[in-house]
Chain A
Amino acid sequence: AQTVTQSQPEMSVQEAETVTLSCTYDTSESDYYLFWYKQPPSRQMILVIRQEAYKQQNATENRFSVNFQKAAKSFSLKISDSQLGDAAMYFCAYRTPSLAGGTSYGKLTFGQGTILTVHP
């Protein structure tokens, strides 16, 4: 079974500075997707960024970028120029393509989450 581990229960950063959130995962698959979701106090999960495992280039979305190390099974999220609105719980998630077959494929598996605090 696939597992996702976020080793940092809490992180904090000063406004305008950079912070990196860690995520590791365990899988025997070669093709899969990785995601970072943000959950603000409103509870609604919002997709921040996604990475396809077959792509060597790290995904970037504005101030958010990832460091994807496939061999090490590591998928960290870097937030640059942190803003107060970035404060939230961040979840790393893993999914195999549904075409791989079986009902367990396609399921999104989440890590335990990291609470990010942004100080003004």
Chain B
Amino acid sequence: GAGVSQSPSNKVTEKGKDVELRCDPISGHTALYWYRQSLGQGLEFLIYFQGNSAPDKSGLPSDRFSAERTGGSVSTLTIQRTQQEDSAVYLCASSLAWGVGELFFGEGSRLTVL
């Protein structure tokens, strides 16, 4: 695609529910990144993919968070049993390869957990 696409743009859910956030990177970009931006905070690195593999999962805040990427393209970030502290904007970015080139960001998915 022309840019990084994320869906949904906004998601409101109840505490305890599972949510899935989707990221469609720029075509041809092999690296994909997930960041979390809490209100008034900077960007917290969650996980990155090079192709379909995720060498570094240390940024995921808890075992309720998981991410996968299939076909070297679309990625899904899943949050199970959501908590109020999970409320944030989840930003996805892609680049030509890990650590190479500029990161292009999507517009993010705003998650609100009631």
Task: Bin the interface of chain B by size.
Answer: 20 to 34
Minimal beta-carbon separation of A98 from chain B (angstroms): 3
Smallest distance from the beta carbon of B102 to chain A beta carbons, Å?
5
B 55-87 to A, binary, CB cutoff 8 A, 1 in contact else 0: 110000000000000000000000000000000
Q: Contact: B48 with A107, CB < 8 Å? A: yes
Give the residue of A44, A50, A106, A110 whose beta carbon is less than 8 angstroms from that of B98. Answer: A106
A95 touches B107 (CB 8 A): no
Task: Determine if B105 and A107 form an interchain contact, defined as CB atoms under 8 angstroms apart.
Answer: no
Q: Which residue of B lies closest to A99 (CB)?
A: B99
The number of A-B residue pairs with CB atoms under 8 Å apart is 51
Q: Please report which residues of chain A, range 80-120, place their CB below 8 angstroms from some CB of chain B when the two chains form the complex.
A: 91, 95-99, 103-113
- Taking A43-B89, A43-B108 as contacts, is the C-beta distance between A98 and B100 under 8 angstroms? yes
A113 to B110, CA, bound (A): 18
Chain B, Cβ-Cβ closest to A115: B40
Contact of A106 among B35, B42, B99 (CB under 8 A): B99
The reply to whether A44 and B42 form a contact with Cβ atoms under 8 Å apart is: no
Q: Which residues of B are found within 8 Å of A104, using beta-carbon distances?
A: 56
User: Which residues of chain B are within 8 angstroms of A108 by Cβ–Cβ distance?
Assistant: 33, 45, 103
- Residues of chain A having any CB pair with chain B under 8 Å: 42-47, 50, 91, 95-99, 103-113
In the complex, besides A43-B110, A110-B42, 18 extra interface pairs with C-beta distance below 8 angstroms are A43-B89, A44-B105, A44-B108, A45-B91, A46-B105, A47-B103, A97-B99, A98-B97, A98-B98, A98-B100, A103-B55, A103-B56, A104-B56, A106-B99, A107-B56, A108-B45, A110-B35, A112-B42
